[in-house]
Amino acid sequence: MTAALRLLGMFGGLLWLLPSGLLKLHRVRRLGAAQRDRVIRDWSRAVLRTCRIELQLDGPPPTAPCLLAINHVSWLDIVVLNAVAPTRFVAKADVDRWPVVGALARGSGTLFIERSRPRDAMRVMHDMTRCLREGQQVSVFPEGTTSAGDRILPLHANLFQAAVSAAVAVQPVLLRYLDADGVTPSTAPAYVGDDSILRTLWRMAAAPRLHASIAYLSPIHGGERRALARAVQDSLQQALSTATPLAAAAELAAAR
């Protein structure tokens, strides 16, 4: 199958999945968190199948309340992570204004931050702390922007204050996209600079089937926010520098 035909199939599948996901979230809004998480997880896995991406896991996702700190590569990152274990994400307010996608993000419990308003950061910090104290997990991309996945950018320490205030651990998570061999890094899903989602989809359609590798690293306990940011940066950078093939990697669906 040519890349053009693959792109048409991916684009058509996503156009179907976006409104169908919104409808499913609307139906389970009045149900419990477990039902909502199941819908989000199943929908996210369907998106990954449509995009020809398989999951690889290194270590189990955390079950206790914590702040997950993840390196940021692509617009697909949230989908990849939600396909394993849905959490509350912190995202820029622009996402809330995107057609359909914004409604999906709201329905999944995303916390939106208006970066141009300094006081809004304090509001979101209080919301994050409240969620953590209530026993939820909150995920952030502390780099503040995306990279090609070949390095860890400097982390914003302010986001770690919620973990300090709620007295919970910080869970570093290394996310990598790999070629079909499950070893070689791939930049096809990267969403950097002037990239568009359509251009990203084209690169993915032109590539062999890809893998998304998620490594849950050792949790970090205690310390003030700057120390936590440094510790997470070191943990992610070391894991990226020493990344090796996962011997028993498989799709999450086959493992559960």
CA distance 10 to 120: 36
The reply to whether 188 falls in a domain is: yes
When pLDDT is averaged across residues 160-180 and rounded to a whole number, the result is 96
* pLDDT of 248 higher than 60: no
Closest CA to 143 of 174, 114, 120: 174
**21, two tokens:** 């996901």
Residue-wise pLDDT for 220-239, tens only, equals 998 999 999 999 999 999 99
CA distance 253 to 230: 34
Q: What is the CATH number of the domain that holds 163?
A: 3.40.1130
> What's the domain range around 142?
3-243
The reply to whether 202 falls in a domain is: yes
The reply to whether 46 falls in a domain is: yes
The reply to whether 111 falls in a domain is: yes
Residue-wise pLDDT for 32-75, tens only, equals 788 888 988 999 999 999 999 999 999 999 999 999 999 999 99
CA distance 147 to 236: 13
**What is the percentage of the chain residues whose pLDDT exceeds 70?**
93
Q: What is the pLDDT of residue 207?
A: 93
Q: What is the pLDDT of residue 250?
A: 37
* pLDDT of 249 higher than 70: no
Encoded amino acid at 149, one letter: G
The reply to whether 251 falls in a domain is: no
Total tally of structural domains belonging to the chain = 1
Mean pLDDT of the chain: 88
Rounded to two decimals, what is the model's pTM? 0.89
